[in-house]
Amino acid sequence: MPRVGLFIPCYIDQLYPDVGLATVEVLERLGIEVDFPEGQTCCGQPMANTGCTPAAAPLAHRFVEVFSPYDAVVCPSGSCVAMVRVHYHEYFHGDPRYEALRPRVFELCEYLVDVLQVDRLPVKFPHKVGLHQSCHGLRELRLGSSTEQVVAPFNKARSLLEKIEGLELVEPTRPDECCGFGGTFAVSEEAVSCLMGRDRVADHLRAGAEILTATDMSCLMHLDGLIRRDQQPLRCMHIAELLAGRPA
């Protein structure tokens, strides 16, 4: 049985713990032994995004120290996984421990599709769902094809959602547009961030979405704030919650 280290992003740990619990539920239902190493910390993405690159180095080294013993590391966040797999190189300069761990770090949907090759999900979710494709997962991890690429369409999150009984995926007109969160961008460029987020919400509402889902709770946190402030008839749920069969 594979032994998986569960890596939980800071904002899920502090604000959305149910997403972490749903992730565990999905993995354990598929026969995976899940361990949550309590020594884990932030991946360092907020510091790196803000330009404080040296401040992220100790966190990168801590990540490798904590998660190296596991067969795989699974995280319900494309942006945090992208930080580890795409942006940790400058902290390790070819260190074999990092290079050995790097290909074993997966975003949740990526692990379910590419490693476990899940072909069925015994859950129901009878709602119209819009899928927000978060930028890091889409363009750094390639969890799906983006519209600027001339390639055969694919999407790992979508392929899982299509296996949920009763779930109807609705199509926004701009399927891979940024929500405007961007971590510290939402603070430094608040007005632009909010306009981008409201555009995303409006696009999914026009498509008829009742539930808005994504692989990143950070994007959904931003969008949910705008939805609640504007009193829009739309609810945000992380994809782990849908895969676990949580009610709307």
Give pLDDT tens digits for 69-127.
999 999 999 999 999 999 999 999 989 999 999 999 999 999 999 999 999 999 999 99
Indicate if 63 and 166 belong to the same structural domain.
no
200 in a structural domain: yes
- Asked whether residue 150 carries a pLDDT value surpassing 90, the answer given is no
pLDDT of residue 86: 96
Q: Whole-angstrom Cα distance, residue 27 to residue 240?
A: 10
Report how far apart, in Å, the C-alpha atoms of 14 and of each of 33, 189, 226 are: 24, 24, 20
Give φ, ψ of 33 to 5 degrees: -85, 115
Same domain, 39 and 11: yes
Residue 92 and residue 43 share a domain: yes
Helix axes 190-207, 217-230, angle to 10 degrees: 80
Residues 232, 24 contacting (CB under 8 angstroms): no
* 185 and 92 within one domain: no
Specify which residues 188 forms β-bridges with. Answer: none
Check whether 1 has a pLDDT greater than 90: no
Residue 35, pLDDT > 90, answer yes
Last residue of a domain, one of 81, 115, 149: 115
152 shares a domain with 74: no
* Shared-domain flag, residues 86 and 47: yes
The mean per-residue pLDDT over the stretch 51-78 comes to 96
In a domain, 123, yes or no: no
The boundaries of the domain holding residue 88 are 3-115
Q: Distance (Å, rounded) from C-alpha 16 to C-alpha 9? A: 10
Q: Which H/E stretch holds residue 33? A: strand 33-35
User: Both 160 and 222 in a single domain?
Assistant: yes
Q: Are 167 and 237 in contact (CB under 8 A)?
A: no
Q: What is the pLDDT of residues 176-235, one digit of tens each?
A: 999 999 888 888 899 999 999 999 999 999 999 999 999 999 999 999 999 999 999 999
* 145 and 99 inside one domain: no
Q: Are residues 147 and 228 in the same domain?
A: yes
As a whole number, the mean pLDDT across the chain is 95
Domain boundary at 115, 140, 167, which? Answer: 115
Q: Cα–Cα distance between 37 and 15 in angstroms, integer?
A: 19
pTM value is: 0.95
Within a domain: residue 224?
yes
Domain boundary among 58, 90, 115: 115
Q: Please tell me the total count of domains within the chain.
A: 2
Residue whose token pair is 């510091």: 47
Residue at 121 is within a domain: no
What CATH number is given to the structural domain containing 20?
3.40.50
pLDDT of residue 188: 86
Please report whether residue 157 resides in a domain.
yes
- pLDDT for 186 equals 83
Q: What is the pLDDT of residue 117?
A: 97
DSSP bridge partners of 146: none
